[in-house]
Amino acid sequence: MPDLPEEESAAYGWVWAAMTPAERRAKMRELAEWVQWLRTTFELHNQIPRCWYRHPPVREHLTALYAGWVRTYCQPAPGRDLAEAEWLSTLHGFLPRLQVASCANGTHHEAPPLPAVRPEAQEEFEDYLTASEFGTADSAHPAEAEALRQATEL
Domain-by-domain residue ranges, the chain?
21-103
pLDDT at residue number 3: 46
Task: Label residue 106 by pLDDT band (50, 70, 90).
Answer: confident
Q: How does pLDDT run across 129-139, given as a tens digit for each residue?
A: 899 988 888 88
Separation of alpha carbons 149 and 154, rounded Å: 9
pLDDT at residue number 13: 77
Mean pLDDT over 112-126 rounds to 89
The pairs formed by 62-69 with CB atoms below 8 angstroms and a separation of 24 or more are 62/31, 62/35, 62/38, 62/98, 63/14, 63/16, 63/31, 64/14, 64/94, 65/38, 65/90, 65/91, 65/94, 66/14, 66/31, 66/34, 66/35, 67/13, 67/14, 69/34
pLDDT at residue number 139: 80
- pTM for the whole structure: 0.72
Q: How does pLDDT run across 30-70, given as a tens digit for each residue?
A: 999 999 999 999 999 999 999 999 999 999 999 999 999 99
pLDDT at residue number 53: 95
DSSP-based three-state secondary structure for 61: helix
pLDDT at residue number 12: 59
Task: Label residue 8 by pLDDT band (50, 70, 90).
Answer: very low
